Amino acid sequence: MHYTGTIWRPPYEASSFLLEATAGCTHHQCKFCTLYDDLPFKFKMTPMEDIESDLKEAKEQLRLLIGHKVSRTFLTGANPFVLKASRLLEIADLIHQYFPDNKTIGCFSRITDITLKTEDELVQLKNAGYDSLTIGIETGDDEALTFMNKGYASTDIITQCKRLDNVGISYNFFYLTGVSGAGRGEFGAKATAAVCNQLHPKIIGASMLTIYPNSELYDEIQKGNWKEEQEIEKYKELKTLIESLDIPVWFAAMGASNAIPIQGTLPKDTRKVINVLEQIIGNIDESELRNYRKNLRHL
């Protein structure tokens, strides 16, 4: 299989077949991000011959597992949805050729990747099986989006995700707890909820900002241009986010960046999730949570 560098996937894609379509990130300018620093290049497309070779290999390997079928494929890479619709459709055709039972295809996408697609192309991609895209919106706080060099504003999140809603492509969000900085966490949470409440994400996954010395954000902190939230403040921020959401959604803070896994279906479990967060805020020492963050070697 042609896998390049560290392979990242959302926790909820654990049972999906992972197929490399791209490597690296087309943007690669977010100040907090170090996920693709192990690659000697910014971005590359996986050659179609490598993709077909991987499909052949996977089909042969799965043939040995009696009764095993591929029902969902997740394209790996920081943002494969940036590829031209024609290439994404070609990849889908190959997937369906080798795995006829495959129903859906997911991948990471930037908000700006959706902008590149026409309405007709989005419809074609939906019909080809593309669904449940994962989008790292990070926040609805425009000041934070600008400072972190995300390359879009909160209005862009709303506009582009409504386009996905219109064609029936579902999507999941990742929220980056702490991205607004010290003293602005609850503001960022409310701004994010205001964006999400206008949309229809299936999942809101929360990751907690972890700052590594090789990040541009670390340099900004050393220069005194930005200050990190304390760990307890991050949990207060999450509590504000949960309290402010009024859409049905599965909330999950499950990745390694979260010292304490939390999940629940909102609004049914809203009170339960808030109770857990209040327990953390009231009963766990800042030093204990900070120690976890300091010893988190890699996300």
User: Would 3 be classed as within a structural domain?
Assistant: no
pTM to 2 decimals? 0.95
User: Would 210 be classed as within a structural domain?
Assistant: yes
**Mean pLDDT in the chain?**
96
In contact, 35 and 255? CB cutoff 8 Å: no
User: Would 257 be classed as within a structural domain?
Assistant: yes
User: Would 299 be classed as within a structural domain?
Assistant: no
Task: Give the per-residue pLDDT at 208.
Answer: 98
pLDDT band with cut points at 50, 70 and 90 for residue 298: confident
Task: Give the per-residue pLDDT at 40.
Answer: 74
Task: Give the per-residue pLDDT at 69.
Answer: 87
Residue 41 has pLDDT above 90, yes or no: no
Residue 279 has pLDDT above 70, yes or no: yes
Task: Give the per-residue pLDDT at 6.
Answer: 87
Q: Could you give the 3-state DSSP secondary structure of residue 264?
A: strand
Task: Give the per-residue pLDDT at 67.
Answer: 65
pLDDT band with cut points at 50, 70 and 90 for residue 10: very high
Task: Give the per-residue pLDDT at 66.
Answer: 60
User: Would 5 be classed as within a structural domain?
Assistant: no
DSSP E strands in the chain: the ranges are 17-20, 22-24, 43-45, 72-76, 104-109, 133-138, 171-177, 203-208, 249-253, 262-266
Average pLDDT over residues 146-157: 98
Cβ burial, residue 275 (10 Å; 0-12/13-18/19+): exposed
Residue 39's contacts (CB-CB under 8 Å, 6 or more residues apart) are: 4, 5, 23, 24
Instruction: Classify residue 158 by its DSSP letter.
Output: H
Task: Give the per-residue pLDDT at 278.
Answer: 98
Domain residues for the domain of 84 are 11-294
Q: How many domains does the chain have?
A: 1
CATH, residue 137:
3.20.20.70
Structure tokens at 80: 């494969």
Cα separation, 48 vs 255, whole angstroms: 31
User: Would 4 be classed as within a structural domain?
Assistant: no
User: Would 6 be classed as within a structural domain?
Assistant: no
User: Would 220 be classed as within a structural domain?
Assistant: yes
Cα separation, 8 vs 35, whole angstroms: 9
pLDDT band with cut points at 50, 70 and 90 for residue 62: confident
